[in-house]
Amino acid sequence: MSNKDYKGHPDARRPKGNPLAWINLLLLAVIVITLNYLGCNEYARRDLTEDERYTISERTINVLSSDRIQKRDHPIRIIFAFKQSTPNYARMRSLLDEYVRYGKGKIEVEYFDPMRQPHRAREISQIYGVEFNQNLCVIDARSDHNVALNTFEEDKSERKYVRIRPGASFIKYETLPDESRRAVALMMDEVVCSAMTEAMEGEMRHMYVVEGKGGVSRDDTERLELLAEICNSINIQLKFITLNGLDTLPNDAAGLIIVAPQTDFTEDEIRILNDYWENRQGRNAIFIALSPTHTQLPRLYRFIREQGIRPNADRVLLRDRNRAYYDISAVFPKSLNCTRSFWNGTTHVEGQSMSLTLEHGDDNMAAIRRLSSYPLLMTTPEYYGETRADRSPDFDPQEDREGPLCLEAAVTKGSPRDPNNLNTLVVLGNVDMLELANTRTEQRDYMRTLWAWMSDRPEYAGKSANQDLTVKIDLNRHTRNAIEYITLLILPLFALLIALIIWNTRRH
């Protein structure tokens, strides 16, 4: 029999089952189902934009993760009533989605367009008493979100747990030279987080600003712009007070603010400060901003020295300069734990500054009183403290103070483990930092972190998110010179060379 006639065994061509293949298919199915389950319930979101425009601030994340939110019995409701054609609508919605994600069930967000959903707009209008003639955002921290609000104000009304913010407040504008306005920043994250705090607490706390000392007054609040913005963001209201004639500070005083005093305090006024600092139960805060141009304040300086901070009554200047130079390069040192996000960060301080020295006259007495000192803002080593204002800047090691110098310091009285009975004192040797026009973003975030710590709200510490709507390019002097050289010389010469080549080609 030939080979071509041989057909082999009947079972030779029958495929045989491979049990390993079935196991692989089963494992593949398990992996696919597991990945789908994890993708639906546990997922990570990544902002791939270079400036992280779709990421909420560190401060907001801390607030949403705090016990103040997570231990609530009822979630907070946010109603985002914006037209979908609104500029930056996608960005704002993406930021609110982050609120839901970090809120972990304690934040609910409803999106609806009043123009496309008139029936829903009518229902919400009946609950909150609003008219949708503009974009609105409603933050409701009540236990029952469907109960209509009263049309009148009462001390115990639930209206105080609801905040309504117009869409126009989400945008920051700047005025151009031709009197027109341009949108420069999206403030939605900051506005919503602040409104959420107000809605949760219902009533604002009070901090009192001392007037009558020549520093600030009710009619001139330019030096309080930064503090007012920071206090409003953490639900604190600033009030003015005159210490002359008082026996003690009001019982609702959560803090006392003294800004750039020009005349010294009387003995009775110092007694009020000591009584508030030494004897008042609870968490009390004092903030003092000193001006280098008004240093004849012996009683106030004595009170500050007794707590462990000595104002030096000098001018912080840059060495090797023939004239006064007040643009100071400063560093946020390692000190308070709440400022950890800023440690070793740098900033530029504008305006005149005086240096501060952290020292206790009696260390044993300081230990008994449980006083602790912390540097908050330090200069770089090339700066010094000029002690004589009647001469041109010239460093004298016999009289002047050698850098690095402390520009801002804090003192605590009590145990940090008992925040409900911890007094805090912050002294700043520069008053220009309190003006928004002179304040940089990192300084504003740092000051907000300090005030959150002073008011026992550590969850409000941290850096803010990117809010710019325009792209900013920071160029140093060398880069600007290079750009001018290229645009004014290289590009015209290059264009002239091309023109000569074309002319010479056509000529021949």
Q: Tell me the pLDDT tens digit for each residue of 101-146.
A: 999 999 999 999 999 999 999 999 999 988 888 899 999 999 888 8
Domain identity same for 375 and 265: yes
Q: How far is the C-alpha of 424 from the C-alpha of 401, rounded, in Å?
A: 27
Q: Domain span at residue 158?
A: 58-172
Rounded to the nearest 10 degrees, the angle between the axes of helix 188-201 and helix 225-233 is 60
Domain identity same for 166 and 208: no
| Closest CA relative to residue 288, chosen from 380, 387, 356, 359 | 356
Domain identity same for 234 and 95: no
| Closest CA relative to residue 45, chosen from 62, 61, 66 | 61
Q: Tell me the pLDDT tens digit for each residue of 354-382.
A: 999 998 877 788 888 888 999 999 999 88
Instruction: CATH number of the domain at 323, please.
Output: 3.40.50.880
Q: How far is the C-alpha of 164 from the C-alpha of 241, rounded, in Å?
A: 30
Domain identity same for 122 and 249: no
| Helix, coil or strand: residue 408 | strand
Q: How far is the C-alpha of 272 from the C-alpha of 173, rounded, in Å?
A: 43
Distances (CA, A) of 278 to 253, 272, 284, 334, 358: 15, 10, 10, 28, 20
Q: Give domain status of residue 34, yes or no.
A: no
pLDDT lower than 50: segments of the chain: 1
Q: Which of 460, 476, 499 is the last residue of a domain?
A: 460
Domain identity same for 370 and 232: yes
For tokens 């004595």, what's the residue?
A: 302
Task: Give 435's contacts (C-beta < 8 A, 6+ positions apart).
Answer: 222, 223, 225, 226
Q: Give domain status of residue 401, yes or no.
A: yes
Q: How far is the C-alpha of 152 from the C-alpha of 169, rounded, in Å?
A: 25
Q: How far is the C-alpha of 197 from the C-alpha of 371, rounded, in Å?
A: 31
Q: How far is the C-alpha of 74 from the C-alpha of 142, rounded, in Å?
A: 8
The torsion of the CA quartet 400, 402, 403, 408, rounded to 10 degrees, works out to -50
Cα 64–68–69 angle (5° rounding)? 45
CB 37 within 8 A of CB 29: no
| Mode of pairing for the β-strands spanning 253-259 and 285-289 | parallel
> What pLDDT does 474 receive?
56
Q: Give domain status of residue 343, yes or no.
A: yes
> What pLDDT does 4 receive?
54
Question: What pTM, to 2 d.p., does this model score?
Answer: 0.78
> What pLDDT does 351 receive?
85
Rounded to the nearest 10 degrees, the angle between the axes of helix 188-201 and helix 89-103 is 40
Domain identity same for 368 and 244: yes
508: tokens are 């021949």
Domain identity same for 147 and 224: no
Domain identity same for 65 and 168: yes
Task: Output b/e per residue, 433-463; b: 16+ Cβ within 10 A.
Answer: bbeeebbeebbbbbbbbbbbbbbebebbbbb
In 115-268 the beta strands, taken as DSSP E runs, fall at 136-140, 162-166, 171-175, 181-186, 205-210, 236-241, 253-259
| Helix, coil or strand: residue 57 | coil
Domain identity same for 372 and 319: yes
19: tokens are 């049990």
Q: How far is the C-alpha of 9 from the C-alpha of 497, rounded, in Å?
A: 87
286: left (phi over 0), alpha (psi -120 to 50) or beta: beta
For tokens 């643009």, what's the residue?
A: 327
Q: Give domain status of residue 188, yes or no.
A: no
Q: Give domain status of residue 197, yes or no.
A: no
Domain identity same for 364 and 283: yes
Domain identity same for 230 and 314: yes
Sheet holding 136-140, edge to edge: 107-112, 76-81, 136-140, 162-166
> What pLDDT does 2 receive?
52
CB 332 within 8 A of CB 345: yes
- CA 313 to chain centroid: 30
Q: Which of 417, 437, 460 is the last residue of a domain?
A: 460
Q: Give domain status of residue 12, yes or no.
A: no
The torsion of the CA quartet 21, 25, 26, 30, rounded to 10 degrees, works out to 150
Q: Give domain status of residue 125, yes or no.
A: yes
Rg (CA), the chain: 32
Q: How far is the C-alpha of 292 from the C-alpha of 48, rounded, in Å?
A: 46
Domain identity same for 225 and 299: yes
Instruction: CATH number of the domain at 63, please.
Output: 3.40.30.10
Q: Give domain status of residue 449, yes or no.
A: yes
Q: How many domains does the chain have?
A: 2
Task: Output b/e per residue, 246-276; b: 16+ Cβ within 10 A.
Answer: eeebeeebbbbbbbbbeebbeeebbebbeeb
